Amino acid sequence: MTEPTSVEKLTTWAAGSENPVVQFVRTTLGPLLLILITPPAAIIFWIVCTFEPFNGSLAPLLTSAGWSSVAAHWPWPSTSAAGIVLIFAVFEALLLQWLPGKNYEGPITPTGNRPRYKLNGIAAWFITHVLFLGCTFGLHLFKAGIVWDHFGEILATLVLFAMLFCLFLYFKGRYWPTSEDRSLSGNFIWDYYWGVELHPTLLGINLKQLTNCRFSMMGWSVIVCSFAAKQVELDPGGHLSNSMLVCVALMVLYLFRFFWWESGYFTSLDIMHDRFGYYICWGVVAWVPAVYTLTAQYLVLRPSDLAWPLAAAIFVLGAGAIYMNYAADAQRQRVRATDGASSVWGRPPELIRASYVTADGRQHENLLLTSGWWGLARHFHYVPEITLALAWSLPAGFNHFLPYFYVVYLTILLVDRASRDDRRCHKKYGAAWEEYCRRVPWKIIPGVY
């Protein structure tokens, strides 16, 4: 296989600007700063949640005492943490490979390939959680709060491992690619950050599914369960606060729904179009456990009970957001699976048949739904995602900003993703996408944006 020439130099993320300064910022300076800033940030968030003088506040970072505390408590990779990570990764890989499940073909790639996945996420979710609880409360092999006890070392291990793994992915994509779905820009910083391959495999395992779904999302669920258990261990009366209960229940419910609808994730921008480099791989391996669990981290040492009507209202808000997000995804997938022969909110769906051509010269067609949830805004499903993040953050109260960092981060991420997706779809579908934007003028929030 010959090495590709300098294609996708700007890629989707940098598309839409010919200004060389903007291109440099988006493809070199910006990625470099993120590579340098995000690893220490992931560790610092844990220190702020765990040690004095922070007590969950970022304000001491403005003082020398704060940075002295950061230095004093800085964690390092350890053999125990590496063992925990390795056992979990191997276990999830074995479940992915050995558990029975339906084979699923993802959307066609720009080069005409179809990635393959195995749908056994629900079985893997139950086995993982039952085994974790069984080893802790049944066999007493370790305490349920083990993840919290080693979390600093685990984060340090994940941060370092993920950076090295991304380097491996760069060389694999360059010299031993899985398929033609790859690109090299000639800019090492960009290629390391954005990735070279679209759907790399290793030993027959789809690496995006293994790391994104089974290691990261499954790990997220186990982590917050361990955090809740740690709060119980620390309480003299063995009490679990309802603030932690609501927060963790919403996260676990969301993650269960994720595996229930795992095939839907394989049609997302992350999987279909974002290459597998630092942006995705390091993010799911290190950033997700560090940042997506922040509210639960914060609550471990700060238990508080809400009035039960308020706790119930927050849970209903979050559960409603989970349902709305699921309903939107299911609506679009059902319409496409039936070629439009289904109903949307009790009526025939309003559609645009958009054709496109892949790199192998073959013409394909896709359905753009302009009614139902997808008639409200082109990316309306991001609204319930942000609402859910807010719901599981609200139990932490309003004393500090840190429990809400994920909400702000997710909003920025999804707004940027919506813009990238619009540019990509316009390039892919042309006039059909312009017609879609005419019919559905709002990007995310109807009547606002």
What distance in Å separates the CA atoms of residue 368 and residue 352, rounded to the nearest whole number? 5
Calculated CA dihedral for residues 328, 435, 416, 104, nearest 10 degrees: 50
Write down the pTM of the prediction: 0.93
Same-domain pairing of 272 and 370: no
Same-domain pairing of 284 and 362: no
- The separation between CA 86 and the C-alpha centre of its own chain, rounded to angstroms, equals 21
pLDDT on residue 16 = 44
Helix 218-234 to helix 242-260 angle (10° resolution) is: 160
Q: Judge whether 20 lies within some domain.
A: no
Q: Judge whether 68 lies within some domain.
A: no
Query: E strands of 172-217, at which residues?
Result: 201-202, 205-206
Same-domain pairing of 139 and 156: yes
Q: Could you tell me which residues are beta bridge partners of residue 369?
A: 351
Q: Number of structural domains, the chain?
A: 2
Give the residue ranges of the chain where pLDDT is below 50: 1-16
* AA letter at 361: G
- The separation between CA 33 and the C-alpha centre of its own chain, rounded to angstroms, equals 20
Residues 6+ apart with CB under 8 A from 33: none
Structure tokens at 190: 């960009």
Same-domain pairing of 296 and 360: no
Residue-level length of the chain: 449
What distance in Å separates the CA atoms of residue 110 and residue 114, rounded to the nearest whole number? 10
Q: Judge whether 23 lies within some domain.
A: no
What distance in Å separates the CA atoms of residue 171 and residue 160, rounded to the nearest whole number? 17
Same-domain pairing of 431 and 416: yes
pLDDT on residue 18 = 60
What distance in Å separates the CA atoms of residue 84 and residue 69, rounded to the nearest whole number? 27
Q: Judge whether 237 lies within some domain.
A: yes
Q: Judge whether 380 lies within some domain.
A: yes
Same-domain pairing of 286 and 363: no
Give the dihedral sign, CA 395/396/400/405.
negative
Structure tokens at 134: 């069984």
What distance in Å separates the CA atoms of residue 155 and residue 174, rounded to the nearest whole number? 29
What distance in Å separates the CA atoms of residue 216 and residue 323, rounded to the nearest whole number? 22
* AA letter at 334: R
Q: CB atoms < 10 A from the CB of 164, how many? A: 9
Residues spanned by the domain of 166: 1-12+77-304
Residues 6+ apart with CB under 8 A from 172: 196, 197, 200, 202
What distance in Å separates the CA atoms of residue 238 and residue 143, rounded to the nearest whole number? 14
The domain boundary residue, chosen from 251, 278, 304: 304
Same-domain pairing of 221 and 251: yes
Return the closest-CA partner of residue 332 out of 355, 382, 366: 366
Q: Judge whether 271 lies within some domain.
A: yes
Structure tokens at 396: 């932490």
What distance in Å separates the CA atoms of residue 429 and residue 444, rounded to the nearest whole number? 20
What distance in Å separates the CA atoms of residue 259 and residue 135, rounded to the nearest whole number? 23
Same-domain pairing of 361 and 265: no
Three-state SS at 371: coil
Pinpoint the alpha helices (H) of 176-290.
188-194, 207-208, 218-234, 242-260, 262-265, 269-272
Same-domain pairing of 215 and 315: no
The domain boundary residue, chosen from 304, 325, 355: 304
The domain boundary residue, chosen from 260, 279, 304: 304
Structure tokens at 140: 């007493």
Same-domain pairing of 278 and 295: yes
Q: Say which DSSP state 279 is in.
A: I
Same-domain pairing of 284 and 348: no
In angstroms, how far apart are the furthest CA atoms of the chain?
68
Pinpoint the alpha helices (H) of 51-149.
64-72, 79-98, 121-133, 146-149
Q: Judge whether 70 lies within some domain.
A: no
Same-domain pairing of 312 and 336: yes
pLDDT on residue 11 = 42
Q: Judge whether 145 lies within some domain.
A: yes
Kindly list the distances between the CA atom of residue 80 and the CA atoms of 44, 86, 153, 154, in Å, as whole numbers in the listed order: 21, 10, 8, 9
